[in-house]
């Protein structure tokens, strides 16, 4: 995620993390802020303590990656690690699409 963010942010890619805490200490915003610094996460991360965003996407697995197009439609989903080349190809295809008028 970090590499894609750095590589494609100037071409329009926006990376947003969603943190749905598993353990009680992960609900603390200060702990999340510290983790973001410690892990050198350069993109925004939402604190989803109640799991509203998690459930809105009917997410059941971690990690799950969603690519959303310029119109707000989910166009690609990948569950778990791996498929990095496939995902990057999907990123490039979406970035190549024209902006809506």
Would residue 79 count as lying in a domain? no
Q: Please count the other Cβ atoms lying within 10 Å of the Cβ belonging to residue 43.
A: 16
Would residue 8 count as lying in a domain? yes
- CA distance between the termini of the chain: 29
Would residue 15 count as lying in a domain? yes
What is the model's pLDDT at position 30? 97
Number of domains forming the structure of the chain: 1
Q: What are phi and psi of 89, to 5 degrees?
A: -60, -40
The candidate with the shortest Cα–Cα distance to 59, out of 5, 19, 87, 14, is 19
Would residue 43 count as lying in a domain? yes
Would residue 50 count as lying in a domain? yes
State the Cα–Cα distance between residues 29 and 96, nearest whole angstrom: 36
Q: What is the pLDDT of residues 35-70, one digit of tens each?
A: 999 999 999 999 999 999 999 999 999 899 999 999
State the Cα–Cα distance between residues 23 and 6, nearest whole angstrom: 30
Would residue 86 count as lying in a domain? no
Is the separation of the CB atoms in 51 and 20 below 8 Å?
yes
Range of the domain at 45: 2-66+91-96
Would residue 23 count as lying in a domain? yes
Would residue 51 count as lying in a domain? yes
What is the model's pLDDT at position 99? 80
């Amino acid at each position: 995620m970090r590499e894609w963010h750095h590589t494609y942010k100037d071409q329009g890619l926006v990376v947003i993390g969603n943190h749905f805490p598993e353990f009680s200490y992960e609900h603390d915003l200060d702990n999340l802020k510290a983790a973001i610094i410690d892990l050198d996460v350069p993109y925004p991360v939402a604190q989803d303590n109640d799991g509203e965003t998690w459930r809105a996407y009917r997410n059941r697995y971690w990690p799950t990656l969603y690519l959303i197009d310029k119109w707000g439609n989910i166009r690609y989903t990948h569950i778990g690690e791996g498929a990095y080349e496939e995902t990057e190809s999907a990123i490039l295809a979406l970035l190549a699409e024209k902006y809506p008028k």
